[in-house]
Homo-oligomer: A and B are copies of this chain.
Amino acid sequence: MAQNLGTKKEVIPSLIRSIDANEVVGFDDNLTKQCVLHIEIKDSEENILEDEISNIISIKPSTEPPVSTPRSENVPVDRYFDALEGPELDILRPSEEIVLPEDKQWPFLLRFPISSFGICLGVSSQAMMWKNLALTESTHFLHVSLNVNLILWCISVLLFALVASTYLLKIIFYFEAVRREYYHPIRVNFFFAPWIALLFLASGVPPTVTTSLPHFLWYVLMTPIFILELKIYGQWMLGGQRRLSKVANPSNHLSVVGNFVGALLGASMGLKEGPIFFFAVGLAHYTVLFVTLHQRLPTNETLPKELHPVFFLFVAAPSVASMAWAKINGSFDYGSRIAYFIAMFLYFSLAVRVNFFRGFKFSLAWWAYTFPMTGAAIATIRYTSEVPNIVTKFLSVSLSTIATLTVFGLLVTTILHAFVLRDLFPTDIAIAISDRKPKTVRKWFHRRASSSEKDIEHYLKYVTSNEKEVEVSVTAKDVENQIPLP
């Protein structure tokens, strides 16, 4: 092994950047135990990762015969379900191992998840809400200044620039990590977040900045959403690993709500056919999602068993849809009201259970769950213009207050986590799962216990036989996956 460590320096730096997970994993399965013994921990983040990867890679030309490691292009979706748990599918199951060292701090970019765009969603929707509060006649009695909108909008733009440029760096330097986020069945929905945030920014643009946006902007913003939808909805329809009966989760709402936000912006700009197109696509797939999520199929493994902030995403689509339809149609008619009242019922249905939301581990993704509240508040302001009375005005004010307080509370929590607890960006387990089932842990310890001294010898044997076990278990796995196990 010593000579392998010697070759460490020869590893080309580009290898460090793109973590070729398959390569790593292939050997990880066999040799991790030995490797771990040789890792020299250094302080620099980069170095640790470099070491880990170098170690693993440098072993490559060893005398060890290269056991058959089937190279799969992507981590199969079942691996995510097998290896992870929790409503955001980001907690490693006890039986699993990860390909990166868990006890060391990873490079910042590797710990910067796509869900960070949730912050942009939360703040930019607030900017839009305050614009509505200031400009809508029904809330004139509040005398809200347009400056609140202006300030929030500027903050949103800055935040977006910051988050987007950071994530861009991640794309450049750790493309494999981004790819793994994209294949993560929950995370993939967050790839809609940047574009929805931009749509909110465009909708919430302060009148002092501009009052008319160019049409091409809408087309530019809707293109990535359209492409992502072709991909995601196609996966639902055409089945395979990512079929809806398997991946349905409230976070899928993010993949639908973009249609309605886009339709709203487009119709506000004066476009006609485009917004209806997205409204129609959204409506069809929202129906599918609404029914599927309400059914809670036993195969929907990622649906949170308990109440969780993610459920507030239920409110997003119908509340934005009601506004979009009102804009398309020119009036807040029965269609808009039906959508609005569905949103209100869902909101209320969650609000009465809000005291169940306890003991959840804070995560950046929570930011994404605040924009539906803001959306509901904006829809209520819109509805109040239509039906102005004391009840609706009270509702407008309270929903806006709740939304603002929630965002503020989350801001405080985020700052607390960022600067006091210093754990805002924890190790992102979700992208570091091995793409193969690890050895069954129990069996392993049992063997170790029984044959205490001949560890390595036994271990190698074990791996060799295990290698076959993996093959078999993969096949068995496929069969199991068809049976909707929890």
Contact = CB atoms under 8 A, between A and B. Distances in A.
Contacts of A245: 295-298
A65 interface: no
Interface in A275-332: 276-277, 279-281, 283-285, 287-288, 290-299, 303-305, 307, 311, 314, 328-329
A239 B296 contact: yes
Interface string A342-360: 1011101100110000000
Nearest to A339: B280
Number of copies: 3
Contacts of A229: 345
A93 to B, nearest CB: 16
A463 B75 CA distance: 48
Contacts of A292: 291, 294-295
Contacts of A344: 277
Contacts of A209: none
A420 interface: no
A238 interface: yes
A353 B294 contact: no
Contacts of A303: 239
A298 B295 contact: no
A486 interface: yes
A311 B349 CA distance: 29
27 contacts: A230-B348, A230-B349, A233-B345, A234-B352, A236-B294, A236-B296, A237-B293, A237-B346, A238-B353, A239-B296, A239-B303, A245-B295, A273-B337, A276-B334, A279-B338, A280-B339, A280-B340, A280-B341, A280-B342, A283-B342, A287-B291, A288-B295, A292-B295, A298-B482, A328-B334, A483-B483, A483-B486
Contacts of A483: 298, 483-486
A244 to B, nearest CB: 5
